[in-house]
Amino acid sequence: MKFFIDTADIQAISELNEMGLVDGVTTNPSLIMKSGRDIIEVTKEICSLVKGPVSAEVVATDASSMIKEGEKLAKIASNIAVKVPLTWDGLRACKELTSEGYMVNVTLCFSANQALLAAKAGATFISPFIGRLDDINIDGMDLISEIRTIYDNFEFDTQILGASIRTVNHITQCALIGADVITAPPNVLKQLAEHPLTFKGLELFTKDWAKTGQKII
Ligand code: G3P
């Protein structure tokens, strides 16, 4: 399973990238707003750091404007994946942009039927939003399972990109179900390393080691 980082924070991306944990990056208008940076400049900087796909989202709502914005974003670097919303116009833009040879990430997916349409439109990635479904008491993981089954039934190449990840459990479940990619905020990815028994065990080893009076270096 590939790890994408869901942020436009250059420092956070660099830190995780140095550990080899960054297979790609996803951004959206809210994350660009949080970064306080110009979309073109910050996206260019991310693309220079990361080899894998970097999603940059269009903001227009009609297909022809989405296509124009997508073409402009795609010119930033060869690893741009143009992100379009899962609307009828977004699907039309997806079809056109993929036929022009660009990677497309279809975002704001909340149903298996939407994911089916995105695959038919040639999407490179489909982004089902797990956390936002959980927020309204619908199990977001059920959607990941349904899409996995449908895509496997018909051998669609579209990669399932689990998005709106809020907890490490979302990542475990995505891995078990077989999502191709997850995109998570940097703090959630770092939490994957945490376990209370690890901390407790380390504390005990440190205390016992002090009692030996030894040094390794
Ligand atoms: O990748 C989409 C993601 O950024 C949405 O996350 O937590 O705002 O629902 P969230």
Cα 19 to averaged position of ligand 1 atoms, centre (Å) = 23
User: Which pLDDT does position 162 carry in this prediction?
Assistant: 98
The 3 state secondary structure assigned to the chain is: CEEEEECCCHHHHHHHHHCCCCCEEECCHHHHHHHCCCHHHHHHHHHHHCCCCEEEECCCCCHHHHHHHHHHHHCCCCCEEEEEECCHHHHHHHHHHHHCCCEEEEEEECCHHHHHHHHHCCCCEEEEEHHHHHHCCCCHHHHHHHHHHHHHHHCCCCEEEEECCCCHHHHHHHHHHCCCEEEECHHHHHHCCCCHHHHHHHHHHHHHHHHHCCCCC
User: Which pLDDT does position 55 carry in this prediction?
Assistant: 98
Nearest residue (CA) to ligand 1, atom 8 = 164
Does ligand 1 have an atom closer than 6 angstroms to the CB of 183? yes
User: Which pLDDT does position 114 carry in this prediction?
Assistant: 98
Query: Tell me, what amino acid is at 212?
Result: T
CA-only gyration radius of the chain, Å: 20
Cα 212 to averaged position of ligand 1 atoms, centre (Å) = 49
Other C-beta atoms closer than 10 Å to the C-beta of 182 total 26
Cα 129 to averaged position of ligand 1 atoms, centre (Å) = 7
Does ligand 1 have an atom closer than 6 angstroms to the CB of 17? no
User: Which pLDDT does position 147 carry in this prediction?
Assistant: 98
Q: Mean pLDDT, the chain, as a whole number?
A: 98
CA angle 94, 44, 57 (to 5 degrees): 30
List 2, 34, 75, 83, catalytic entry: 83
Nearest residue (CA) to ligand 1, atom 6 = 164
User: Which pLDDT does position 143 carry in this prediction?
Assistant: 98
Name residues whose C-beta falls within 8 Å of residue 132's C-beta, 6 or more positions apart in sequence. 110, 140, 164
- List the pLDDT tens digit at each of the 217 positions of the chain: 999 999 999 999 999 999 999 999 999 999 999 999 999 999 999 999 999 999 999 999 999 999 999 999 999 999 999 999 999 999 999 999 999 999 999 999 999 999 999 999 999 999 999 999 999 999 999 999 999 999 999 999 999 999 999 999 999 999 999 999 999 999 999 999 999 999 999 999 999 999 999 999 9
Does ligand 1 have an atom closer than 6 angstroms to the CB of 4? no
Does ligand 1 have an atom closer than 6 angstroms to the CB of 26? yes
User: Which pLDDT does position 163 carry in this prediction?
Assistant: 98
User: Which pLDDT does position 133 carry in this prediction?
Assistant: 98
Which structural domains are found in the chain, ordered by start? 2-212 (3.20.20.70)
Nearest residue (CA) to ligand 1, atom 4 = 164
User: Which pLDDT does position 168 carry in this prediction?
Assistant: 98
Instruction: Give the separation between CA 54 and CA 22, rounded to whole angstroms.
Output: 11
Q: Is 51 a catalytic residue?
A: no
Other C-beta atoms closer than 10 Å to the C-beta of 89 total 17
Cα 30 to averaged position of ligand 1 atoms, centre (Å) = 9
Cα 164 to averaged position of ligand 1 atoms, centre (Å) = 4
Query: Tell me, what amino acid is at 131?
Result: G
